[in-house]
Every structure is written in structure tokens, then in C-alpha cells.
Amino acid sequence: MSAPIEVSETYDKVLVVDFGAQYAQLIARRIREAKVFSEIVPSTMPVAEMLARRPKAIVLSGGPSSVYAEGAPQVDPSVFEAGVPTFGICYGFQAMARALGGEVRRTGLSEFGATPLRVTGAGSVLFAGLPDAQSVWMSHGDSVWSAPTGFVVTASSDGAHVAAFEDVSRGLAGVQFHPEVVHTPYGQRVLEHFLYDVAGCRPTWTMVNIVEDQVERIRALVGGKRAICGLSGGVDSAVAAALVQRAIGDRLTCVFVDHGLLRKGEAEQVERDFVASTGVRLKVVDAASRFLSALDGVRDPEDKRKIIGREFIRVFEHAAREVVAESEAHGETVEFLVQGTLYPDVVESGGGEGAANIKSHHNVGGLPDDLQFQLVEPLRTLFKDEVRRVGEELGLPPEIVWRQPFPGPGLAIRVVGAVTADRLSVLREADAIARAELSLAGLDRDIWQCPVVLLADVRSVGVQGDGRTYGHPVVLRPVSSEDAMTADWARVPYDVLARISTRITNEVREINRVVLDVTSKPPGTIEWE
């Protein structure tokens, strides 16, 4: 059962109604960057249910459909009669116009990508203080042909002579373009004008307030009981544990299962730096040999994941029983399990309605019936970038806060082929070199992550020291992303790539080739396995 740690009613809340746009999460992020809390709801949610959440404003997202297509999601006109300021974006703009009596047409003048925009409305609130001519990011086939009664048209483009409108007296406005993407330079300003000047939202969603609010709520929820947390070494579980530890102190015990599949130095860093910065009680379980034995001869990546998940649950279960027994011996009970679930996890699992969807392995699932805990998920409302800022506010070391995302199954799925201790050692050294050089070049925060993949079953001829070699290749997979749902390969400077390649082939004798993966996601995933 998931413990109800929600967002305080003291924050203004904006609902982002998702019409199937790839940008719905990005809109929510941009609203939060304006220091206003946002959450995503499906377009199928009844208006009464939306209003029950007491939003300060509603944003209608874009979507892939035509408003005239059969089965296309529509806006219930009653939402505009509720007195809640509403902002339409792209498809949401067209659906809003149609629901209010405006006209949407397929004009044959589609616009995709960077598009010149002309601000035409004198006294516009959305475009106040912004240039009359600017570039925006468009993605539409249909266009609003005429604005609803009472609206002032405030911008146009060659393909959309109604590219923005507003009726400030009713708190209603919309734009045809995407203000949330970086390709619309003034987009964040437009969004903030709606939030602050049309909807009257207060910019109080700050990391200091979030920490204080969540600490108070966790303290009230857990009371005098104890909690346990599975610490993976990643930023999510580390920040979740640090928040709970700030709230209940030594009544939290963290269990760190060292499966032997982490990168070089990470296990030691968890044991040393995390404990030093938080003072948390840490129980370390060295299970490396157990995991290696279970993985012996396994090549299929999905089999690897299942085996690692199964073994992790078994090891954690044993450690949890020990923690429970020790607590009961002192007359205390362990009733809560802390997890680092993030908001994208909640959205992608159906919005978090009902029981929590617990992922295998790094989110501990499948525990036996006699080990029942309430889940405490203090990061459940946060995006990854917000989690990092909370980690900084809690005083966690930068090496933990800014650690690149790392898969729960660890290096096992970055060894393409069977996993052995020797292969893990080779990959660990190559990975450490790549990370060190990227850090030295100041690229740590520009690159989402850079998996190094060992093609363990592939060998190629090389020459080193005037001698023939028959070594393995490794693949560098640097990617840029905001949430890992989509990604592009990162354009790492050639001189940095050259240093990484030279060092790996010089210092890791088993490797004689370094290659670069330049595939975006989609079609390729970030991890190879």
C-alpha cells in the first residue's frame, strides 16, 4: 500500500491536461521551473474531478490528432464556465477555440519547426514586453480560422492567422505554437505571463519549501515507527533516503545490496560519502558472488534482468527480516518502506491511481506477504532535475547528486554476452576512464549519461607495441535528454573522444577498439541490452 505523501495545499496547483502530446511532461516541467506546482491528468478525466483538485489554473496540452478526426479527444465546454483560468497549447488551443464557438479549419498551410510569429495585439498580456517579431516552434496542420466571441487575436503566422488569442477578463488564453520547447526563445516568458498575470499563480514551489513540506509530512506519517529503504547508489534512492532521514533520524535503516555490478568506486562511495553527509544507519550486504553465480553463462538481456531482480528481492528480503527482528527485539516496529519513485514513473504507470506500480529490482517489489510495508515515496511528485536540486538542498555530495542515471541491473546489461568477473573488471576500467575525461572536460551536466558497452563476444585484430592483438571493442553511447523518454546522441568534442579512446586502448589492454554510437532514441534505446 502506498503511503499518502502528497503536495501541500499551500502551493498553487496547475493541471496539465494531456491530449496525447509528447510534450505534456515538458509543459509540466516548464511550469515548475516558473516555481508553480503542476501535475498531469488525462483528457478523459471528468471536469468535476479536475475541479475537485482545486487547481489555480488549467493548461490544455498539444496532441497528435485533428480536432475533427473521429474519436479525437475534445474539451468539455463546462471547464471554461468554472472560473478557472485556462491556457490552450497547439491542439489544446484548437480544441479550446472549437469548444467556445470559434472555427478550426484544415487550410493546407501546415507549419512544422521554427516559424516566424508576428505579435499583432496591442496591450497583449501574454506578449507584454516581448518583440513584435519572434521565432516560435510550430507543429500543426489544422489552424484556428476565427477566434471565439470575446477573444482578442494577439499573434499570427503565415500558416495560422490566429496564432494566439486571449480573453483576460475570463482568464482564458491560448497559442498555436509550443512555448515549452527551447526552440521558442520567448516561450517561457509567455508561459509565465499566463501563470502570473492571467491566472495569478504564486511562485512558491521552491526546493527549500519542498524539503520543509515533505519532512513535516513524513514525520507525521511515520510517527514513532521505523522505516527501511533499499539504497541502490543512484540519486533517486539516495535523495529519498536523505529526506526521510531528515524527518525521522535514526529510525530509518538503509539497506545497500552490493551486487557487484556497480561502476568503479561507487559501492565505496555509498558506504563512505552518503553516510558521512547524512548520518544514516546503513546495512551493507556484500552479495557480489551470489549475483555472479546466478548470472553464470546467461547471455539474454531480459534473462539477466529477471535474474538480477529475483536475486535482489531475495537478498533484500533476508536483510529486511534482520532489520525487523533487531527492531522488534528493542520493542519497535518497522512499518514503512522508502522508495525513490519519481513523477515520470507515476505518469507512465497510469497516473498513480490506486496501488503503486512497483518496478522490479531497483524499486523493491515481490516481497512475501509476511513482510508487508506501507510505501513512503517522498519524490513521487518530482521530476529528476527537481530531485537533484532537493539533493543539493539536503547537502548530499555532488558526486551523488549529479551521478548519471544508471540501470538497476548495473553493468550486467552493459556487457553484451555472458557476465564474468573479468569482463566486469575490464568494463569498469573503461567506464571509469570515460567518466573521468568527461568530467575533466566539464561535460558532466551537459550529457544525460554515457553508457560504455563491452562487446564481450566480439573480437577484432589490432596492433599495439608492434604486436598483433585480438581484443574487444567498447562502444561509447553519450546521449542528451531531459527525461530519457527521447534522447539524441551527444556531440562530444572530438578532442575529448580522442583522449577517451587513447586512454582506454592504452590502459585497458583487453580493449583495442573504441567506437561511437550515434543513434537517437527512437529508434535505438539508450542501453544496448
362 is catalytic: no
Q: Which residues pair with 452 in a beta bridge?
A: 476
Between CA 87 and CA 95, with CA 89 as vertex, the angle to 5 degrees is: 85
- Cell numbers at residue 469, please? 592483438
Question: Which candidate, 60, 90, 27, places its Cα nearest to that of 383?
Answer: 27
Which of 356, 403, 399 shows the shortest CA–CA distance to 380?
356
Cα dihedral sign for 247, 249, 252, 254? positive
Cα–Cα distance, 401 to 147 (Å, whole number): 47
Give all strands (DSSP E) within 102-168, no chain letters: 103-119, 133-146, 152-157, 160-167
Q: Which three cell numbers stand for residue 156?
A: 499570427
Q: Collapsing DSSP states into helix, strand and coil, what is residue 501?
A: helix
Q: Which of 39, 111, 166, 180 is catalytic?
A: 180
Given 39, 90, 335, 377, the catalytic residue? 90
Q: Determine the Cα–Cα distance for residues 333 and 371; give it in Å rounded to an integer.
A: 12
Per annotation, catalytic residue among 178, 193, 259, 472: 178
CA 220 – CA 228 distance, rounded (Å): 17
Helix spans in 169-287 (H): 187-192, 207-222, 235-248, 266-269, 275-278
Sorted by sequence, the CB contacts under 8 Å of residue 168 that are 6+ apart come out as 125, 198
Q: Is 178 one of the catalytic residues?
A: yes
Residues 6 or more apart in contact with residue 197 via CB below 8 angstroms: 125, 128
Tell me how many degrees the CA angle 148-114-58 measures, rounded to the nearest 5: 40
Q: Is 472 a catalytic residue?
A: no
> HSE of 248 in the Cβ direction (CA atoms, 13 Å)?
26
* Closest CA relative to residue 177, chosen from 124, 108, 127, 102: 127
| d(C-alpha 138, C-alpha 395), whole Å | 41
Q: Which residues of 304-329 are buried (b: 16+ CB within 10 A; e: fewer)?
A: bbebbbebbbebbeebbeebbeebee
- The CA distance from 254 to 230, in Å, is 6
Distance CA 231, CA 278 (A): 13
Measuring CA to CA, which residue among 162, 147, 156, 166 is closest to residue 100?
Answer: 147
Which residues does the annotation mark as catalytic? Answer: 90, 178, 180
